[in-house]
Chain A
Amino acid sequence: MEKQHSRAGSLSRRDFLKVSGITLTVPLVIGPRVLKVAGAEVKVFGPGRVPMTFTINGKTYRAELEPRVTLLDALRNEFELTGAKRVCDRGTCGACTVLLDGKPVYACSVLAIEAQGRAITTVEGLMQNGKLHPIQQAFIENDALQCGFCTPGFVVACKALLDRNPNPTPEDLVAGLGGNLCRCGTYVGIRAAIAQAARMQRGG
């Protein structure tokens, strides 16, 4: 027989101080505690809720979240930005892909707290003045989607790829979309879509 219950860690606050020679300053009434370490003050956030501010698709969003909340969960649960999907939650499928300062990342593998102060672009931010982005248009025309659950992740990954490389060769395509999976099997459409989007972007 085996018992399954929470195994509490063994570290008490005092141990912390002992092991790392940290001196604790008076905790602030609001906001993070501050530790004085190596001659500087370092803010300690959490483990409880922390006020956070984000720039998503050019707009400012605020929420109070624990440090353990991922960017993906913040987007989906706090800001109703549910385009990025949670599928594997482990950085192995690409359904949660968003751009951080223009680079593609798995939002499930970024802590929300780390994404503050960075430009976050989600699939919801790709339309310009109510018009579909050429990639989105090309996805529709080439039927690069079925159930559509992987689609937002692919669309954002395609955007990252074309932003970096407007003229992808077939090998570049593989390299650029090597972080996304689809279960319905829409890859033929996706290959056609990105080729068309690249042409459209070059043309206009």
Chain B
Amino acid sequence: MAERDAMEMAEYKWPEPERRRLIGKRISRVDGPEKVTGRAKYTYDVNRPGMLAGKILRCPYAHARIARLDTSAVEKMPGVQAVLPLKKVGDEILWAGDEVVAVAAVDEPTAEDAIRAIVVEYEKLPHFVLDTDPKAAGERARPAAEQVEGDPDAAFREAEVVAEGLYGMSLITHCCLEAHGAVVEWEGENNVLVHISTQAVSGIAGQMAGPLGVPAGNIRVKQEHIGGGFGSKFGPDSWGIAAARLSKMAGGRPVKIMLERDAELMVAGARPSYYGRVRVGAKRDGTVIAWESETWGTGGIPPTSPLPVPYVLRIPNQRKRHIAIVTNSGPARAWRAPLHPQACLLTMAALDDLAAALRMDPLDLLLKNIELAGERADVYREELQIAAELMEWKKRWHPRGDPSPGPIKRGLGVSIHTWPGRGHACRCDLTIHPDGSVEVKLGSQDLGTGTRTAIAIVVADTLGIPLEAVRVRIGDTQYPPAGGSGGSTTIGGVSSAARRAALDALDQLFARIAPLLNASPDQLEAWDGRIRVKGDPSRSIAWEHACARLDGMPLTVRGENPGPGELTTAGAAGVQMADVSVDIETGIVRINKMVAVQDCGLIINMKTAESQCYGAMIMGISYALYEEKIMDPVTGRMLNPNMEFYKLAGLADIGELVVHMMTGEKYDRRGVIGLGEPPVISPGAAISNAVANAIGVRVPFLPLTPERVLEALAKKGGSHARV
């Protein structure tokens, strides 16, 4: 940086629109060819020489104590190389599927046989997995302190209309298609090589060092590609550590442990359930003045935290209570936009019910109160208008209850959301080689969001060279550390660091080239594969020739985020609308169309940005209609730890999806903002509201299964409830 200040160069900022040849355009991802041909290697695909297969014996009970553990038979089995008890006699187990013993064997079938030969006796203890009723939870209900803002009592007295409702969403899982897991091997006594499916390549070594008793610097972590994370893959996990221990026991041979699908769904992450009773009060004209909520939910053993409600709109007078329910349903993990989908549903559904009570169009109610969104109010206003046009809302909206004849009822719903998404801390090394090729290295990861491609776009655009000339290397602790990919912080972090590195590299190159072109460095610019004098394109030199002047020494520059210049900020705003059909005889909900209008500041790659929104809407449809981690009260187990009854939306279940990204000076000015989570927040609320609009009654909980829809209809008591 010092060098840069000394030269008093232009500040660090994003290029003006006319200087963007790649940024903001629709660019195909650079790792597409690898992925479509099956050449892309994921952790699951890593097969190392001499590799052993690791497997884990899991406890079938939701709450138990280990009474006896005998691995002696297994230790003698041919092909078994290491046996590692992960629990001992007397240990308490708090959820079904918890790890008890790990083994490593020459191949998977042998490892499976070994697991079956282990003898464990359990003392069963009482379990509890129900989360919908805090009263039934007894001492497992842990109330949090009440939160009050303003004067809710006075505000409710002042309110002319009060709507009250029950809302919530079930426990769901991440269901990453690539299961969690790792391949670990020791090189000698002190060095460990880890291939792991992770959202935080640079963060893994530090977490393994303690348990393994080796310095973090001796642990090398690698990952080329990852098959989904969604918030659940930030640590080495007990099985990653187990793989390392087994490997050590087996003389350093690589050990691969990838979770089986059932374990993946049982123990590798869940999004906490949240339910709540909400009251909202408003003036007759729709001005919302009062909020009261009592929420409860479970994320397993650690208590759930209170929700950020009311969501987006800061209703002036509020009272909030929360009860955490402690259950044996397994560990929770961050799930794409933690707490937001739940807070969004509770708020947007309550406001939708309020609109119904006011006999108002919910879109008008949102617009009426949009100033409560604060700083971003104008963005929401603009987005709501665009979404309404794309959905033909004004033409197609009807008050609650589709009056048309026949069993199929149609309805519209709307919701808004927000997410911070400021870029994380990140470093990268950018090298310009004398042959003109450019390399960027950083210990980041590409979750499928297009991180590699975004980095390449930023660097190529800054250096004025084609995308193909930039080679991005990520996923290795030998590269400069980069933050974990969570909280939609990656795009802001990596693009800012890459931009700074590229600008600095360019400065250094300019300094070398300037004399050749009879100019000062600050008169130069890089454009279209050449370095040229601003305003005099005839004085220029081809990129390759300029690089050849590096005297055979590659030029390497470190880029960082945070750093000078506001290249990334926080606060994405988005709006979604849903159009659904409900068969009121069967309770089946189908999506006709969804619209997402989203802002994320400056867009680096329009193609992958849109893909994020499509993907998030689809994930949203999936949790709105189908997904539930079904916990069995009797056995305490998850009943659907498979992809047959843990239902994900399929290609035919999503209707027509429309994405509109906000662009233009006003948005560019804010720099890059993350997009990974925002668009996954609203679908639940938008779809729930659309269903209420269609059938004239609120279905309180997601997923909106036929069972729940029919029950709501029956309660409404309409003649529709039965045919």
Binds A, one of B31-39, B466-474, B561-569: B31-39
Query: Which residues from 126 to 153 on chain A have a C-beta closer than 8 Å to any C-beta of chain B?
Result: 126-127, 132, 136, 139-141, 143, 145-152
Distance to closest chain B CB from A138 (angstroms): 9
Complex: how many Å from CA A90 to CA B645? 12
Complex: how many Å from CA A60 to CA B301? 53
Given A4-B120, A87-B177, A178-B652, residue A147 in contact with residue B226 (CB < 8 A): yes
B117:A6 contact, CB within 8 angstroms: yes
Contact with A along B643-658 (1 / 0, CB 8 A): 1100011111010010
A147:B651 contact, CB within 8 angstroms: no
Query: Which residues from 50 to 96 on chain A have a C-beta closer than 8 Å to any C-beta of chain B?
Result: 66, 68-69, 73, 76-77, 80-90, 92-93, 95
B614:A82 contact, CB within 8 angstroms: no
Q: Which chain A residue shows the least CB distance to B226?
A: A147
Please pick, from A132, A152, A178, the residue contacting B650 in the complex, using a CB distance under 8 A: A178
Q: Which chain A residue shows the least CB distance to B260?
A: A89
Q: Say if the beta carbon of B663 comes within 8 Å of chain A.
A: no
Given A141-B28, A183-B648, residue A155 in contact with residue B36 (CB < 8 A): yes
Distance to closest chain A CB from B69 (angstroms): 11
Q: Please, which residues of chain B bring their CB within 8 A of the CB of A182? A: 177, 618, 648, 651
Q: Which interface class (under 10, 10 to 19, 20 to 34, 35 or more) fits B?
A: 35 or more
Complex: how many Å from CA A94 to CA B548? 50
Q: Say if the beta carbon of A188 comes within 8 Å of chain B.
A: yes
B117:A181 contact, CB within 8 angstroms: no
Please pick, from B39, B121, B607, the residue contacting A83 in the complex, using a CB distance under 8 A: B39
Q: Please, which residues of chain B bring their CB within 8 A of the CB of A115? A: none
Complex: how many Å from CA A83 to CA B118? 34
A77:B614 contact, CB within 8 angstroms: no
Q: Please, which residues of chain B bring their CB within 8 A of the CB of A151? A: 35-36
Q: Which chain B residue shows the least CB distance to A91?
A: B644
Q: Say if the beta carbon of A33 comes within 8 Å of chain B.
A: no
Please pick, from A76, A147, A173, the residue contacting B227 in the complex, using a CB distance under 8 A: A147
Contact with B along A1-45 (1 / 0, CB 8 A): 111111000000000000000000000000000000000000000
B448:A188 contact, CB within 8 angstroms: no
Q: Say if the beta carbon of B9 comes within 8 Å of chain A.
A: no
Complex: how many Å from CA A59 to CA B329? 48
Query: Which residues from 642 to 685 on chain B have a C-beta closer than 8 Å to any C-beta of chain A?
Result: 642-644, 648-652, 654, 657
Please pick, from A82, A92, A141, A188, the residue contacting B45 in the complex, using a CB distance under 8 A: A82
Complex: how many Å from CA A84 to CA B227? 13
Q: Which chain B residue shows the least CB distance to A141?
A: B28
Q: Please, which residues of chain B bring their CB within 8 A of the CB of A188? A: 614, 618, 654, 657
Q: Say if the beta carbon of A123 comes within 8 Å of chain B.
A: yes
Q: Which chain B residue shows the least CB distance to A90?
A: B642
Given A6-B117, A124-B37, A141-B28, residue A85 in contact with residue B614 (CB < 8 A): no
Contact with B along A137-178 (1 / 0, CB 8 A): 001110101111111100100000000000000000110011
Given A77-B107, A93-B643, A148-B227, residue A180 in contact with residue B651 (CB < 8 A): yes
Q: Please, which residues of chain B bring their CB within 8 A of the CB of A122? A: 38
Complex: how many Å from CA A177 to CA B31? 24
Distance to closest chain A CB from B289 (angstroms): 38
B121:A185 contact, CB within 8 angstroms: no
Distance to closest chain A CB from B66 (angstroms): 11
Interface centre among A83, A88, A127, A183 (most CB of B within 10 A): A183
B121:A1 contact, CB within 8 angstroms: yes
Q: Say if the beta carbon of A184 comes within 8 Å of chain B.
A: yes
Q: Which chain A residue shows the least CB distance to B258?
A: A86
28 residue pairs of the A-B complex, CB under 8 angstroms, read A1-B123, A4-B118, A73-B108, A76-B47, A77-B107, A82-B44, A83-B37, A85-B227, A87-B178, A90-B643, A92-B642, A95-B177, A132-B36, A140-B29, A145-B448, A146-B615, A147-B227, A149-B42, A149-B177, A149-B178, A183-B176, A183-B228, A184-B228, A185-B614, A186-B615, A187-B650, A187-B654, A191-B651
Write the residues of chain A forming the contact surface with B, with a CB cutoff of 8 angstroms: 1-6, 66, 68-69, 73, 76-77, 80-90, 92-93, 95, 122-124, 126-127, 132, 136, 139-141, 143, 145-152, 155, 173-174, 177-178, 180-191
> What 12 new A-B contacts, CB under 8 Å, besides A178-B650, A180-B651, A183-B176?
A3-B121, A82-B45, A122-B38, A143-B611, A145-B35, A146-B447, A146-B449, A147-B177, A148-B31, A148-B36, A174-B651, A183-B648
Q: 9 closest pairs, A vs B, by CB?
A: A83-B38, A185-B618, A149-B227, A147-B448, A146-B448, A185-B615, A148-B35, A140-B32, A82-B45
